[in-house]
């Protein structure tokens, strides 16, 4: 063990958007900040080069390729989830893909940055399902504002984001920091045709710059948001890592935190991390923040079994790792009579939301999105496998590219304590740390939601003069994990309180989507960012 | 008078190109006489491969550099490449067809069709072989992107700041692609 002990006012585990935001805010406030990241630093140009040189291109357009590779590194001490790192035990595979690099998973996120609606904080009191959050929309509104400024969100003002076509919602005190991107031909055409059938198009707020924003150039329609924006027009957590470091914070990459230690008063005293060479290092601090992702955060807490916390840190409730949620979805592929040409501009924008209504007593809310990822390589490969040659090959590539629509639906998943992250007893990484073991299943509420969404998609075929040519009802993971350190007022059934502070430890905060009390059907990053800015404010008053 | 086949015309065109490239000898489809395994094919092998590739893909201006790399890559994965190419070339020659489409309607033998698909797949996808031996040769120059150029960009090579919104029109106009609205 190393004799040298590092110390900081605040030590943060994880350099993704949440950890980096907190680190940047506290460094700006003059606090000494240390951020520990399990994975290495990466450079955008290297990832872009690796992507272009890869024989198999990872793309959200083809979920089957999710396991095939990623341009981001997979190292023995921080294995990539694109391999077989995660152990699956449940009836439904929870094959989420997160990145263990400086800057975290937002490197490859689509960059949807939604606020939740006021009603989404009160699922239980409004509809008798799931849990209420202990806080409401009003508690978060000013942090949503701030998060949108920090992350640089482009959006459409004055639309009803619930999807009901009513008054603007949720209520906002400030407009979006940047205007929306131009609509593509496909988006305009779909919005027009589906509006005729009573559907209300909603334009997604997202993290692509539409004017020069801080260090970011304007989105150039590279259609490569996942796995990497080649020009850094799209927000990612590395940008706040840069801010944090420029303001004096220290980031240590390749530092895998494996243990937190508490004392008999419940205060966290220290944490320990391992280097790739196996050496062990101790860090002390006044305040500890774990922002290590919804799967890795509970893994760390569960690994930290101490004399005072025999079930693991922050786990007197036995809720650490439980209530694993996602916005698990389905997908439908349609062939349209008219050309639509998905693939222009950035990879997503148009959605049809069904977020509010009494149906939520019986069925999951959902968001229907149309993928705008250039599908050319996928179709060309398929056609060649079928032996199509000659002019017919070019003709078919054009036809399939122009006329095929890939719809995907994301659903709310209720918190179920049986869905959980535990520690594998069989499989360990190169440092000897157990890999996350996942159990996941979906209930009738989720299935009822899929039936409603299929009715809408069938209506779409009428309105678009299209046929469904493929359906996948088999639980597509949407990479929107939440719930594993769930927030609540009752320390007996939740891990953190309304301030994201561990019930069991006064100087331990947990940042990330893992604190969310409800998954909703929406992308969770902006909510986690807003909560992180609120955490930073709390900590600033304490150290 | 029997019309001269386009394939034969292409051979003549390439023989001119060879002269321009520095007096390379004109091979008489030299692949008819396969040699043993080698990583340094004769320039004529590559040129013949280029002629064949231009016929198979219906393109007139394929890159010599890429042809060399595809040829080497395919040779690595298919030790009998030279024989397969020779057989395919002979069959095309014998059929007297002018275009790939004509050759396809003429009815290639299964082996010839298989070889043609292997070569066309390489040029279109920019990738050779199957997992785990997949090898990347070209990305933005993969021919599949030409079919939609003008309408869709090669991912990661965007059109420019906020440069989209008009109805996409591919440069390559093909009969039979529906064009309503």
pLDDT tens-digit readout, A339-361: 999 999 999 999 999 999 999 99
* Residue A418 banded pLDDT, cuts 50, 70, 90: very high
- B144 and A395 within 8 Å at the Cβ level: the answer is no
Q: Are residues B130 and B146 in the same domain?
A: no
In chain A, residues 237-256 whose CB comes closer than 8 Å to chain B:
none
Shared domain check, B164 and B131? no
Q: Is the pLDDT of residue A210 over 90?
A: yes
A470 has pLDDT over 70: yes
Task: Give the mean pLDDT of A201-216.
Answer: 97
pLDDT of residue A459: 98
pLDDT band with cut points at 50, 70 and 90 for residue B18: very low
Asked whether the beta carbons of residue B152 and residue A374 sit closer than 8 angstroms, the reply is yes
Q: Which residue has the higher pLDDT, A106 or B173?
A: A106
The phi-psi region of residue A318 (left if phi > 0; otherwise alpha if psi is between -120 and 50; otherwise beta) is left
Let me know whether B29 and B96 are in one domain: yes
Evaluate the omega torsion of the peptide bond into residue A405 and state whether it is cis, within 30 degrees of 0: no
Beta bridge partners of B33: none
Asked if residue B157 and residue B130 are part of one domain, the reply reads no
- B21 and B71 within one domain: yes
With cut-offs at 50, 70 and 90, classify the pLDDT of residue B3.
very low
Q: Which residue of A has its CA nearest to B181?
A: A338
Bridge-based pairing state of the strands A256-262 and A268-274 = antiparallel
Which pLDDT belongs to residue A135? 98
| Whether B153 and A337 lie within 8 Å, measured CB to CB | no
- A495 torsion bin: left (phi>0), alpha (psi -120 to 50), beta (else): alpha
* Region A141-169 average pLDDT: 98
pTM metric for this prediction: 0.93
- On the question of pLDDT at A32 being above 70, the answer is yes
Q: Report the gap between the CA of A220 and the closest CA in chain B (Å).
A: 4
What confidence score (pLDDT) does residue B36 get?
44
Cα(B45)–Cα(A45) distance, integer angstroms: 37
* Separation between Cα atoms, residue B50 and residue B57, nearest integer Å: 10
Q: How confident is the model at residue B37 (pLDDT cuts 50, 70, 90)?
A: very low
**A65, A379, A390: best to mutate for the B interface, most B CBs within 10 A:** A390
Compare CB distances from B161 to A59, A185, A218 and report the shortest one's residue.
Answer: A218
Residues B21 and B84 in one domain: yes
Q: Give residue A59's pLDDT band: very low, low, confident or very high (50, 70, 90).
A: low
Phi and psi torsions of A511, nearest 5° = -115, 145
CB atoms B117 and A389 under 8 Å: yes
ipTM for the predicted complex comes to 0.93
For residues A319-332, average pLDDT: 98
Q: Least CB-CB distance to B176: which of A217, A220, A395? A: A395
Is residue B133 very low, low, confident or very high in pLDDT (cuts 50, 70, 90)?
confident
Neighbour count for residue A203 (Cβ, 10 Å)? 18
Instruction: Look at residue A89 and tell me whether its pLDDT is greater than 80.
Output: yes
More confident residue, A162 or A378: A162
Q: What pLDDT sits at residue B31?
A: 43
Tell me the mean pLDDT in the region A61-84: 75
In the prediction, which pLDDT does B161 show?
97
Q: Which domain holds residue B164?
A: 142-175
Mutate to test the interface with B, among A46, A216, A380 (most CBs of B within 10 A): A380
Q: Which residue of A has its CA nearest to B140?
A: A52
N-to-C CA span, chain B:
45
pLDDT for B43: 81
Subunit contact B155:A222, Cβ cutoff 8 A = yes
| Cβ–Cβ below 8 Å for A398 and B147 | yes
Mutation choice for A interface testing from B146, B161, B172 by most A CBs within 10 A: B161
Mean pLDDT (chain B) is 82
**Which residues lie across from A78 on neighbouring strands?**
A75
A480 is catalytic: yes
- Contact between chains at A377 and B120 (C-beta distance less than 8 A): no
Q: Is A381 on the interface with B (CB under 8 A)?
A: yes
User: Are the Cβ atoms of B172 and A374 closer than 8 angstroms?
Assistant: no
Average pLDDT of chain A is 96
Q: Closest Cα of chain B to A196: distance in Å? A: 17
| Half-sphere exposure in the Cβ direction for B91 (13 Å, CA) | 22
Residues of B in contact with A344 (CB under 8 A): 151-153, 164-165, 168
Determine the pLDDT at residue B29: 43
Domain count for chain A, please give it.
1
Q: Are B35 and B85 part of one and the same domain?
A: yes
Residue of A nearest to B130 (CA): A55
Report the Cα–Cα distance between both ends of chain A, in Å, rounded. Answer: 29
- In this prediction, residue B40 carries a pLDDT of 66
Q: Which domain holds residue A124?
A: 5-540
Residues of chain B in contact with residue A230, where contact means CB-CB under 8 angstroms, are 156, 158
> Percentage of chain A with pLDDT > 70?
97
Q: Secondary structure of A53-113 in the HEC alphabet?
A: HCCCCCCCCCHHHHHCCCCCCCECCECCCCCCCCEECCCCCCCCCCCCCCCHHHHHCCCEC
Helices (H), A163-306: 185-195, 238-246, 296-303
- Check CB contact of A184 with chain B, cutoff 8 Å: yes
8 Å CB contact of B136 and A339: no
Q: Tell me: pLDDT of A324 over 90.
A: yes
DSSP state, residue A359? G
B1 within some domain: no
Q: Are A185 and B165 in contact (CB < 8 Å)?
A: yes
pLDDT value at position B175? 67
Using CB atoms, pick whichever of B157, B176, B180 lies closest to residue A222.
Answer: B157
User: CB-hemisphere CA count at 13 Å for B133?
Assistant: 9
Determine contact: A128 vs chain B, CB below 8 A: no
B15 and B68, same domain (yes or no): yes
Q: Which of B117, B135, B156 sits opposite A52 (nearest CB)?
A: B156
Helix/strand/coil for A37? coil
pLDDT higher at B160 or A70 = B160
Residue B58: list chain A partners with CB under 8 A. Answer: 390-391, 394
Q: How far, in Å, CA of A238 to CA of A505, rounded?
A: 29
Residue B129: pLDDT above 90?
no
Secondary structure element (H or E) that encloses residue B106, with its range: helix B100-106
Candidate list A108, A281, A293, A480, residue with the active-site label: A480
- A88 within 8 A of A427, measured Cβ to Cβ: no
Residue B2: predicted pLDDT? 42
Give mean pLDDT, residues A208-225. 97
Of A59, A390, A398, the CB nearest to B58: A390
Res. B132: pLDDT tops 90: no
Q: Are residues B164 and B93 in the same domain?
A: no
Which residues partner with A410 through β-bridges?
A329, A367
Q: Which residues of B touch A217 (CB under 8 A)?
A: 161
- Nearest residue in chain B measured CA to CA from A222: B158
Mean pLDDT computed over A247-252: 98
Q: Is A486 left (phi over 0), alpha (psi -120 to 50) or beta?
A: beta
Q: Is the pLDDT of residue A85 over 80?
A: yes
pLDDT-derived band at B176 (thresholds 50, 70, 90) equals low
pLDDT, position A42: 98
Pick from B163, B172, B177: CB nearest A399 = B177
Q: Which of A185, A221, A397 sits opposite B158 (nearest CB)?
A: A221
DSSP B168: P
Tell me what the mean pLDDT of segment A483-495 comes to: 98
Chain A / chain B CB contacts < 8 angstroms = 169
Q: What's the whole-number mean pLDDT along residues A493-517?
A: 98
**Per the omega criterion (within 30 degrees of 0), is the bond before A146 cis?**
no
The answer to the question of residue B181 being in a domain is: no
Q: Which pLDDT value is given to residue A82?
A: 84
What tens digit of pLDDT does each residue of A256-284 get? 999 999 999 999 999 999 999 999 999 99
Q: Residue B113: inside a domain, yes or no? A: yes
The CATH number for A426's domain is 3.50.50.60
Q: How many domains does chain B have?
A: 2
Between A505 and B11, whose confidence is greater?
A: A505
Which residues in chain A are closer than 8 Å to B176, comparing Cβ atoms? 395
Closest CA of chain A from B23, distance in Å: 32
CB A366 within 8 A of CB A412: yes
Has residue A402 got a pLDDT over 50? yes
Whole-number pLDDT of residue A70: 86
What's the mean pLDDT in A423-441? 98
Q: How confident is the model at residue B119 (pLDDT cuts 50, 70, 90)?
A: very high
CB-CB neighbors (< 8 A) of A53 in chain B? 136, 139
């Amino acid at each position: 063990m190393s004799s040298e002990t590092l110390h900081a006012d605040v030590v943060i585990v994880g350099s993704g958007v949440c950890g980096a935001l907190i680190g940047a805010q506290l460094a700006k406030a003059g606090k000494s900040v240390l951020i520990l990241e399990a994975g290495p630093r990466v450079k955008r140009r290297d990832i872009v080069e690796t992507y272009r040189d890869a024989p198999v291109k990872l793309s959200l357009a083809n979920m089957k390729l999710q396991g095939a590779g990623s341009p981001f590194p997979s190292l023995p001490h921080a294995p990539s989830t694109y391999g077989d790192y995660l152990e699956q035990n449940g009836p439904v595979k929870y094959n989420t893909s997160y990145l263990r690099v400086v800057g975290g998973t937002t490197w490859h996120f689509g960059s949807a940055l939604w606020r939740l609606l006021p009603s989404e904080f009160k699922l239980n009191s409004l509809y008798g399902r799931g849990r209420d959050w202990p806080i409401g929309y009003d508690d978060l509104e000013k942090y949503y504002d701030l998060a949108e400024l920090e992350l640089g969100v482009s959006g459409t003002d004055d639309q009803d984001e619930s999807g009901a076509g009513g008054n603007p919602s949720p209520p906002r005190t400030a407009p979006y920091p940047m205007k929306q991107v131009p609509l593509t031909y496909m988006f305009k055409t779909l919005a027009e045709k589906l509006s005729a059938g009573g559907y209300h198009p909603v334009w997604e707020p997202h993290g692509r710059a539409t004017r020069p924003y801080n260090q970011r150039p304007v989105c150039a329609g590279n259609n490569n948001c996942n796995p990497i924006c080649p020009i850094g027009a799209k927000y990612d957590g590395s940008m706040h890592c840069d801010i944090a470091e420029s303001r004096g914070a220290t980031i240590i990459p390749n530092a895998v935190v494996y243990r937190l230690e508490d004392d008999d008063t419940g205060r966290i005293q220290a944490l320990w991390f391992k280097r790739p060479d196996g050496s062990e290092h101790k860090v002390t601090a006044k305040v500890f923040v774990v922002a290590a992702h919804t799967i890795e955060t509970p893994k760390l807490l569960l690994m930290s079994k101490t004399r005072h916390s025999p079930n693991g840190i922050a786990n007197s409730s036995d809720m650490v790792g439980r209530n694993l949620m996602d916005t698990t979805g389905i997908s439908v592929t349609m062939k349209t009579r008219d050309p639509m040409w998905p693939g222009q501009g950035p990879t997503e924008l148009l959605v049809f939301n069904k977020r509010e209504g009494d149906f939520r007593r019986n069925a999951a809310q959902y968001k229907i999105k149309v993928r705008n990822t250039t599908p050319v390589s996928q179709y060309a490969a398929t056609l060649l496998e079928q032996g199509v040659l000659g002019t017919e090959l070019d003709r078919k590539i054009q036809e399939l590219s122009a006329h095929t629509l890939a719809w995907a639906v994301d659903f709310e998943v209720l918190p179920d304590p049986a869905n959980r992250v535990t520690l594998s007893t069989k499989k360990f990484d190169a440092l000897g740390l157990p890999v996350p073991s996942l159990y996941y299943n979906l209930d009738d509420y989720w299935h009822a939601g899929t039936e409603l969404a299929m009715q809408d998609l069938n209506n779409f075929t009428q309105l678009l003069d299209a046929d469904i040519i493929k359906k996948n009802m088999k639980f597509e993971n949407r990479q929107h994990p939440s719930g594993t350190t769930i927030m609540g007022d009752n320390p007996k059934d939740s891990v953190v309180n309304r301030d994201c502070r561990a019930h069991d430890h006064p100087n331990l905060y947990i940042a990330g989507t893992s604190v969310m009390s409800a998954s909703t059907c929406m992308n969770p990053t902006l909510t986690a960012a807003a909560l992180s800015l609120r955490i930073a404010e709390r900590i600033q008053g304490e150290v | 008078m029997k019309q001269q086949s386009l394939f034969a015309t292409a051979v003549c065109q390439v023989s001119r190109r060879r002269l321009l490239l520095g007096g390379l000898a004109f091979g008489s489809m030299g692949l008819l006489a396969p040699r043993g395994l080698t990583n340094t094919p004769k320039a004529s092998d590559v040129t013949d491969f280029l002629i064949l590739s231009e016929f198979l893909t219906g393109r007139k201006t394929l890159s010599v550099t890429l042809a060399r790399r595809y040829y080497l890559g395919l040779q690595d994965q298919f030790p009998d490449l030279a024989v397969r190419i020779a057989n395919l070339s002979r069959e095309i020659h014998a059929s007297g067809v002018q275009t790939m489409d004509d050759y396809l309607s003429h009815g290639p033998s299964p082996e010839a069709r298989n070889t043609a698909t292997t070569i066309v797949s390489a040029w279109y996808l920019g990738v050779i072989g199957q997992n785990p031996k997949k090898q990347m040769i070209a990305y933005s120059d993969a021919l599949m992107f030409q079919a939609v150029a003008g309408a869709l960009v090669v991912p990661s090579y965007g059109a420019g700041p906020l440069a989209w919104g008009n109805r996409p029109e591919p440069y390559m106009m093909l009969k039979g692609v529906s064009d309503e609205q």
